[in-house]
Amino acid sequence: MTTPEELNAILERIVKQQQTETDMTVLWRSLSSGSQIVSQQGKYAVNLGQGQEIHIGDRTYYGADAELIREIIRSLLEELKATGQFATFKEQNQPSVDELVQQVRSRIHDDIQRLHSTMPLWGVDHWVPLGDLFVDVNILEELSSSRRSELDDLWQDFSKNPSERSLDRIGLGRKLQRVSGLDVLAKNTNLIVVGKPGSGKTTYLQRIVTECNAGNLQAHRIPFVIQLREFVNYGREFTYSLERYFEQCWQLSNTEINLIFHQGRALVLLDGLDEVTGEDARNITEQIKQFAGSYPQVQVIVTCRTQSFTGETKWKSLRFSFVEVADFNETQVRTFSEHWFQAVIGDDSAGLARSHEFLNQLFLEANQPIQDLAITPILLSLTCVVFHQTGKFYSKRYKLYEESLELLLERWDKSREIERDEIYRDLSPERKLELLIYLAVKKFEQPQYILFEQQEIEAYIAEFLGIGLRDSRAVLKAIESQHGLLIES
pLDDT band at 260 (very low <50, low <70, confident <90, very high): very high
* Pair 30, 89: CB distance under 8 Å: no
**419 has pLDDT over 60:** no
Phi, psi for 34 (deg, rounded to 5): 90, 30
Q: What is the reported pLDDT for 46? A: 29
**349 has pLDDT over 90:** yes
Range with the lowest mean pLDDT among 102-111, 292-301, 336-345?
336-345
| 63: Cβ contacts below 8 Å, ≥ 6 apart | none
* Pair 334, 359: CB distance under 8 Å: yes
More confident residue, 442 or 63: 442
Q: What is the reported pLDDT for 383? A: 85
Return d(Cα 216, Cα 421) in angstroms, integer: 39
Query: Strand, helix or coil at 303?
Result: strand
Query: Strand, helix or coil at 323?
Result: strand
Q: What is the reported pLDDT for 270? A: 97
Question: What mean pLDDT is predicted for residues 462-487?
Answer: 80
Terminal-residue alpha carbon distance, the chain: 65
Question: What mean pLDDT is predicted for residues 109-126?
Answer: 83
Range with the lowest mean pLDDT among 61-70, 212-221, 287-296?
61-70
Question: What mean pLDDT is predicted for residues 316-343?
Answer: 90
Segments making up each domain of the chain, as ranges? 4-93, 109-141+177-325, 330-415
**436 has pLDDT over 90:** no
Overall residue count recorded for the chain in this entry: 489
Query: Strand, helix or coil at 245?
Result: helix
CA distances from 451 to 155, 159, 320, 398, 409 (A): 7, 12, 31, 21, 21
Return d(Cα 53, Cα 181) in angstroms, integer: 39
Percent of the residues in the chain that have a pLDDT greater than 70, as a whole number: 71
Q: What is the reported pLDDT for 34? A: 44
Q: What is the reported pLDDT for 163? A: 44
DSSP conformation class of 168: G
Question: For residue 239, what is the enclosing H or E element?
Answer: none
Percent of the residues in the chain that have a pLDDT greater than 90, as a whole number: 25
pLDDT tens for 41-89 read 333 332 333 445 666 655 677 777 777 777 777 777 666 656 655 544 4
pLDDT tens for 444-473 read 888 777 778 888 889 999 999 988 888 888
Q: Taking phi first (over 0 means left), then psi (-120 to 50 degrees means alpha), and beta for anything else, what does residue 84 get?
A: left
Q: What is the reported pLDDT for 422? A: 59
* Pair 389, 345: CB distance under 8 Å: no
| 208: Cβ contacts below 8 Å, ≥ 6 apart | 181, 182, 185, 217, 223, 267, 269, 301
Residue 417 CA, chain-centre distance (Å), reads 16
* Pair 231, 284: CB distance under 8 Å: yes
Q: What is the reported pLDDT for 264? A: 95
Q: What is the reported pLDDT for 83? A: 60
Q: Are strands 266-271 and 222-227 parallel, antiparallel or unpaired?
A: parallel
Q: What is the reported pLDDT for 90? A: 47
Question: What mean pLDDT is predicted for residues 96-112?
Answer: 93
pLDDT band at 274 (very low <50, low <70, confident <90, very high): confident
More confident residue, 188 or 111: 111
Return d(Cα 10, Cα 13) in angstroms, integer: 5
Query: Strand, helix or coil at 137?
Result: coil
More confident residue, 306 or 18: 18
**221 has pLDDT over 80:** yes
CA distances from 248 to 114, 238, 257, 475 (A): 19, 11, 10, 39
**403 has pLDDT over 60:** yes
Range with the lowest mean pLDDT among 14-23, 82-91, 248-257?
82-91
Question: What mean pLDDT is predicted for residues 391-398?
Answer: 68
Query: Strand, helix or coil at 241?
Result: coil
**165 has pLDDT over 80:** no
3 CB neighbour count, 10 Å cutoff: 12
**222 has pLDDT over 90:** yes
Question: What mean pLDDT is predicted for residues 400-416?
Answer: 62
From the list 192, 182, 140, the residue with the least C-alpha distance to 325 is 140
pLDDT band at 167 (very low <50, low <70, confident <90, very high): very low
β-partners of residue 190 are 320
CATH number of 109-141+177-325: 3.40.50.300
**4 has pLDDT over 80:** no
Return d(Cα 256, Cα 40) in angstroms, integer: 9
**352 has pLDDT over 80:** yes
Question: What mean pLDDT is predicted for residues 243-247?
Answer: 91
**266 has pLDDT over 90:** yes
Q: What is the reported pLDDT for 50? A: 44
Return d(Cα 105, Cα 85) in angstroms, integer: 33
Return d(Cα 312, Cα 304) in angstroms, integer: 14
More confident residue, 227 or 34: 227
Return d(Cα 70, Cα 36) in angstroms, integer: 15
pLDDT averaged over the chain? 78
| 3-state per-residue secondary structure call for 348-390 | HHHHHHHHHHHHHHHCCHHHHHHHHHCCCHHHHHHHHHHHHHH
More confident residue, 301 or 281: 301
Q: What is the reported pLDDT for 166? A: 47
Q: What is the reported pLDDT for 87? A: 46
